[in-house]
Structure 1
């Protein structure tokens, strides 16, 4: 650390004149080529470059030579952790920096403090990603308290950082000072759910918020009630991820009903949310008012089985859905029959990805009916009908319908059939399908 500080003090001199610029830029090029990266005046991408101490010292030395730098990515380099101070001292030379990514750098609490202190010299910063740094937990306030009111930050990501309730509260206090925020990712922080009520109250200041990711955040009922109240104020929201929060389905009818006030929603992820009959019905009702919906993930919600028609009826009014995930939803024959009918009617014509994996209760006749009816999905590129690895089910009764369906799906590139037992004859038919029909489908069985 003393060596790093000495380097930083040495480089706090005036920038090089034009006569020296060629030599200095040669140093930049030399370091990047050593790390197998492409040189650029505006983008410094050192992601996963296995940097060592010498490389980090050289990086500190060359930062003053990059006054036009707009993006820096040091993610997945362990040596950054604990050595961020001398690096942040050089940020005064990169005042045009807009993007800073420090994912999985083993950042220490003191690194977060140094970063917070350095923010004042990079006023143009728009994207800050500190994800996968577990030692940030309990220390986020040393960063958030340094961000001034009116700071132009548009994206803040702190995925899996072991954030605490105190971190959540400090983040809540920040939100009304960064009202230009467009993306907030707090996913995989299981203890932050206790402070969601505080965070939800402050979301009212983020009228331009487009992406809200609360995946696996241990959300609590009181937080959902407060989030439901501010939903109408988030009219710009395009992506909402509440997946792996089981309390969603148990207590959030009001929340899901209010999604109707978010007409710009393009992605709704509710995987593994323990949806119940009433909450699923509320979602289906809200979907009628989501004309721009492109991605819907309902995987691992057992109540979908036998009730798929509710959501399909809502979606059938529009033809924009591109991705539908229904993995492990306890689907039954009538669900696939309804899906096949909707496909034939045309409203799902733009569907590109369909996941029906891990649905064990569908009979051979159910699968046969489905394959007979999916020929209208001309834009479908990915289809997953896998079973659990322990299933080992025979597919003789519908294999012919599958082959016939493949001929009608010109854009299909990925087909997953894991868990199904195929005879040698069937395997050979699949292997020769691409050759015989001049296709390039990746088939996994």
Structure 2
């Protein structure tokens, strides 16, 4: 449901907004510029921006599709290519730790999703891992549980794979709204595949509550974390999640096509029956036995030879998380999206936009999606003017806020350019004071 963007009350009040009694209020642009400067000056994550390759000519608000390059990736890949591959060659599988990289890097991701060690393995694409997780979940369910619940607004691939998993296991798929999953689960439900954050709207769904309801109904919970991990706290172990998947090229900044990850709760690992039993997950991979015997633990999620270059690029990218508190990330994410919505309300011509992202913090991920007539053309013009977001048909502008490198000044600049583009289309103007 779309929500009107209110001009009445700013999303988040700070002392910097106070106006002395009897003083003339500052124009909107000037007030917002002062607030952006104050918020950036007090940002505990501000130094982390220097860990990324960025330019001040562009406001990059598409980290929910592809995260920025971190400064440590190029030297790491240079060493991998010239020394590990170029000099050591085949010896690097042992001497450089290539063979154990999927589990080792999985253990680096684990704290970002609230998982203990030994439960996350990195490799393959998100789509492949969704297939592994969902089929394995259904195989663990009794045969009389004949349906798979799927988020009706899911990213299309998740839906396609759920249909394939259902055909493979003799089940049927029932699409339901993510928020209705808990109520829809019943004695016929084998498993549910749910997105933690909706990719179109940025709505954050109730992972603990839905997981608990699925378990009460005797079903397993499979979560897609693509738009949440790295942007907000996730507590897979504490919330009892059974299986989860996620990509690493969005908020984890692993690079285009970076390998995804698969979480299998420790208590289920012995029962995890992968539909893709490759030699890398065999108990004795170099025994080359004709029969398959699964390995122990998270290694069961592996299939074939790891994609080493992209896997080790991801390893280097994860260095940016050293010393970073996920609580600080979440606090800044909410503050950024609040401030952006406040700037849009103050600067954009009235009636041109509607937010489809929930106003409530408990239901918001780390993006703002705005419904706009002519959205495709608007986004093209924004990009041409140095504000990079993206567009989803038919009429949604998406702006992803990556707290590790997005500044409050960036949020203001994006709103100002958006106001310019829409104002030019209507002939309206907006305040120009205090442009950062």
Determine which structure has greater relative contact order: mean sequence separation of CA pairs < 8 Å that are 6+ residues apart, divided by chain length: 2
Q: Radius of gyration: which is bigger?
A: 1
TM-score surpassing 0.5? no
- TM-score (norm: length of structure 2): 0.21
- TM-score (norm: length of structure 1): 0.21
